[in-house]
Structure 1
Amino acid sequence: MAGTVEGEKIDVSFSGKRCIHSRNCVLGNPHVFVPNAPGEWIHPDAASVERVVALAENCPSGAVTYKRKDGGPQEKPPVVNTVRVRENGPLAVHAEIVLGDDTFLRATLCRCGAS
């Protein structure tokens, strides 16, 4: 499951392949990210642009991303690259990651070596 949901001031994209189900999005604002809903489950206009930005930037895997349409700043690469070990979970990378033609700012890597 992947795709982009367009809002009035911000578009939100989701990549099911990258999602590690940390639930930060759903627990962060269940009005924006509605789990187990029939049909559309991402509602970018259900909160302020700043709140949606914070929710997306809190996604450790980078499965949730955004594109602002209000002229506000887009997410920037961190000043310092970091790798965090999540307890009983993957490595969380926050850096400018370039893979082929794609650039990501957040990703998770399984510690089993299967990533």
Structure 2
Amino acid sequence: MISTKKLLKMAKKWQKIAAASRKRISWPRPVADKGHFVVYSTDGRRFTIPLAYLKNELFIELLRIAEEEFGVTSSGPITLPCDSKFMEYAISMIQRCVTEDLEKALIIF
């Protein structure tokens, strides 16, 4: 049989361990690097985008359409209304500094 002193000591130790594990916050993956934000495509692929792209007309339009289609959520991720192939193409277009006419044609598409 275990003495009451030992039992109380063990209970306090377990309480400390339980309290310490509740205080830990773990993220499944990093939120985003400094100067970047994270968006998801409709097929669930994750993209880390530089903040400078927020000035781009294509991203402004994608975010506006996403707001109309999915609404604004404060708890979930930003999901853009396109698949991952389109996102890859759009990012490559922005990186190449395409003309405004081509950008507008892409938005209309």
TM-score interval for Structure 1 and Structure 2 normalised by the shorter chain? 0.3 to 0.5
Is the radius of gyration larger for structure 1 or structure 2? 2
Q: Give the helix-richer structure, 1 or 2.
A: 2
Tell me the TM-score normalized by structure 1.
0.32
Tell me the TM-score normalized by structure 2.
0.33
